[in-house]
């Protein structure tokens, strides 16, 4: 199949001087907002005690452990700003992402030991759910850096119980192991109660000599005989027991290495634990990249910094999708699927780091008066019509057959609406796309370039409508809402306006509510809001987007659950004709 893949059709063109000059304001505006996002990320990194204080105790911070553990240049953080319960700490207290360890991709997560010694916080279990789902979807190891003091007891009612509460990671670890996905854990510090289960539930345990894991910690063990109330006598008794158990906390290395054998390995130094993880990762199941690569890895022919000039920050302005994609894929080459059908949708095969990937995105330009064929009005790019939906159904079905991972690049205002659209079966075709995606069982990721709107956000690889979305990335231009705020205001208050008008009452109070709702929609669709509430998994600078595409693709091909030999693939042959 070398003739198909080694040299595909080149696309894209270099920016002209006039275009560069005319987009300077857009370039600077995006850079400024990216700096604002970087400041928010830095605020999360600085949460809790200063690094110097942790180091003075002879400990590394979770950030230092990650820097030591992960292969340089491969770390792709996720969920950094995720804080759905608005914790005063400013974090869910776990730091996670995808990166290479000893040349192998892994999902990596650690407790932030600078914040309440790595305590459970509200929203944390939802964060961990995303992480275990990612490991499951990509079929790659999950590596934990455990340093967990257990629950923040003053807020336990917010996260301890419920179907997706703080205990669910334990059975999710069991689920991964039953699927043959290893969970490795480097264990530090004191890990009582929930921290104990965080430590014992992984597959192989790598312990620092000073760590301990236990069903109950010092505070719990010294208060296990409640008497109905507290008084001075009880306080003195608690003090004595606390001193006793603090001097020798339960579940030390002497117990869980020498007696139970739970700890497979014990190390003297903090970095030795990480070196142990590195050594183990060398032997994790993985195909050599040459097994799946279709060509030698190559950089795009154009600078990725062009994206700052190609993608307008103003959502009402159009752009050339093909030019954007050409800055992201190897050699700026592709094989486009059905280019003369469903012109509002791009679908094609590209290469990322030498691996074959499928890319699907929204073209933005005006599509002319003769399209869609079922209506007497012209089509606008960014909206989905009958042909585009049929095209995506076909393409993802072939991708499933050929086991090709999919990268969705979304910027859509939704589906066409009205009786003509209903007669054209858009509702059924849209749900058909959900079915087509779900039956593929291949990894997918979503890059939300700008708009994620209405059901199009679900249909085009959104995490809401399928189990295959590994993660969703946003940019500083991303916005997510069921419809534009002004549209929502009209839908909410149009009948009320009619009633007020017919009753002879002033319209200004209703107009005020409409403006308030539109403003509220705008504020609750901004990138920072989306990241904080988990609507996107990370806001990524445009210059780093390809790095995440490389990580996703490499991880998807590292140890896939099924294989389609390249010479058995049908999609490249269908494209060639």
Domains annotated for the chain, with CATH where assigned, are: 46-282 (3.90.226.10), 321-478+536-576 (3.90.226.10), 483-525 (no CATH)
Query: HSE (CB half, 13 Å, CA atoms) of 216?
Result: 9
Q: What is the pLDDT of residue 244?
A: 65
Q: How many other β-carbons are positioned within 10 Å of the β-carbon of residue 307?
A: 22
285: closest CA among 476, 76, 140, 82?
140
pLDDT for the residue 218 = 56
- Whole-number pLDDT of residue 219: 56
Token pair listed for 255: 């117990």
Instruction: Identify the H or E element spanning 221.
Output: helix 218-221
62-69 helix and 270-281 helix, angle to the nearest 10 degrees: 40
State the sign of the Cα–Cα–Cα–Cα dihedral 490, 495, 499, 502.
positive
* Distance, CA of 216 to chain centre: 33
Q: How far is CA 84 from CA 72, 78, 171, 442, in A?
A: 30, 14, 23, 29
Backbone angles phi, psi at 444, to 5 degrees: -140, 155
- Distance between CA 27 and CA 218 in Å, rounded? 55
Question: Which segments in the chain show pLDDT lower than 50?
Answer: 222
For the stretch 221-278, pLDDT in tens is: 545 556 677 788 777 777 777 666 665 778 999 999 999 999 999 999 999 999 999 9
User: What angle, 0 to 180 degrees and rounded to 10, lies between the N-to-C axes of helices 124-138 and 168-178?
Assistant: 10
Q: What is the pLDDT of residue 265?
A: 97
Cα distances (Å, whole numbers) of residue 139 to 20, 256, 289, 317? 42, 30, 15, 39
Q: What is the pLDDT of residue 547?
A: 98
Q: What is the per-residue pLDDT for 400?
A: 98
Query: What tokens were used for 504?
Result: 């002879």
> 390-419 burial string, b = 16+ CB within 10 Å, else e?
bbbbbbbbbbbebbbbbbbbbbbbbbbeee
Quote the tokens at residue 542. 């445009």
The C-alpha atoms of residue 573 and residue 568 are separated, in whole angstroms, by: 10
**pLDDT confidence of residue 249:** 79
| pTM of the full structure | 0.95
Give CA–CA dist 195/83, Å, rounded: 20
pLDDT at residue number 231: 82
pLDDT at 233: 78
Residue by residue, DSSP assigns 408-440 as EEEEE-EE--SHHHHHTTHHHHHHHHHHHHHTT
Tokens for 103, please give them.
């040349």
């Amino acid at each position: 199949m070398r003739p198909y893949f080694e040299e595909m059709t080149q696309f894209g063109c270099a920016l002209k001087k006039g275009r560069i000059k005319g987009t300077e304001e857009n370039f600077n505006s995006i850079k400024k907002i990216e700096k604002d996002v970087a400041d928010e990320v830095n605020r999360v990194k600085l949460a809790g005690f200063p690094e110097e204080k942790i180091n003075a105790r002879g400990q590394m911070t979770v950030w230092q452990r990650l820097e030591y553990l992960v292969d340089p240049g491969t770390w792709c953080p996720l969920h950094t700003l995720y804080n759905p319960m608005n914790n005063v700490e400013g974090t869910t207290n776990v730091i996670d992402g995808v990166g290479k360890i000893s040349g192998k991709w892994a999902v990596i997560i650690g407790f932030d030991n600078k914040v309440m010694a790595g305590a459970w916080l509200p929203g944390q279990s939802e964060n961990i759910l995303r992480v275990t789902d990612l490991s499951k979807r990509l079929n790659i190891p999950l590596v934990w850096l455990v340093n967990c003091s257990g629950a923040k007891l003053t807020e336990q009612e917010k996260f301890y119980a419920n179907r997706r509460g703080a205990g669910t990671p334990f059975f999710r670890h069991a689920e991964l192991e039953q699927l043959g996905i290893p969970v490795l854990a480097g264990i530090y510090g004191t890990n009582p109660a929930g921290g104990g289960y965080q430590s014992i539930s992984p597959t192989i345990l790598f312990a620092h000599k000073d760590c301990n894991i236990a069903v109950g910690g010092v505070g719990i063990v010294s208060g296990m005989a409640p008497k109905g109330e507290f008084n001075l006598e009880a306080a003195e008794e608690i003090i004595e027991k606390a001193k006793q158990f603090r001097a020798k906390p339960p579940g030390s290395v002497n117990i869980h290495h020498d007696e139970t054998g739970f700890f497979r390995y014990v190390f003297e130094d903090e970095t030795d634990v990480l070196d142990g993880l590195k050594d183990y990762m060398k032997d994790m199941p993985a195909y050599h990249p040459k097994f799946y690569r279709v060509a030698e890895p190559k950089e795009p022919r154009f600078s990725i910094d062009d994206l700052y000039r190609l993608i307008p920050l103003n959502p009402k302005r159009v752009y050339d999708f093909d030019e954007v994609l050409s800055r992201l894929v190897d050699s700026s080459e592709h094989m486009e699927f059905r280019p003369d059908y469903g012109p509002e949708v791009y679908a094609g095969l590209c290469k990322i780091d030498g691996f074959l990937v499928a890319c699907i995105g929204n073209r933005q330009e005006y599509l002319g008066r003769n399209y869609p064929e079922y209506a007497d009005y012209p089509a606008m790019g960014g909206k989905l019509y009958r042909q585009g939906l049929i095209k995506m159904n076909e393409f993802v079905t072939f991708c499933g057959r050929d086991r090709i991972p999919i990268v969705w690049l979304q910027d859509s205002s939704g589906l066409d609406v009205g009786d003509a659209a209903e007669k054209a079966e858009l509702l059924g075709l849209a749900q058909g796309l959900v079915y087509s995606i779900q039956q593929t069982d291949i990894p997918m990721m979503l890059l939300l370039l700008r708009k994620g709107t209405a059901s199009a956000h679900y249909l085009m690889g959104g995490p809401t409508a399928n189990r295959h979305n590994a993660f969703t990335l946003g940019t500083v231009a991303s916005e997510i809402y069921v419809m534009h705020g002004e549209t929502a205001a009209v839908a909410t208050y149009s009948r009320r306006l009619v009633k007020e008008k017919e009753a002879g009452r002033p319209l200004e109070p209703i107009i005020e509510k409409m403006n308030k709702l539109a403003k509220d929609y705008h504020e609750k669709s901004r990138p920072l809001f989306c990241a904080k509430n988990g609507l996107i998994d990370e806001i990524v600078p445009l210059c780093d987007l390809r790095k995440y595409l490389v990580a996703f693709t490499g991880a998807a091909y590292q140890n896939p659950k099924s294989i389609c030999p390249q010479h058995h693939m049908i999609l490249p042959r269908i494209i060639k004709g």
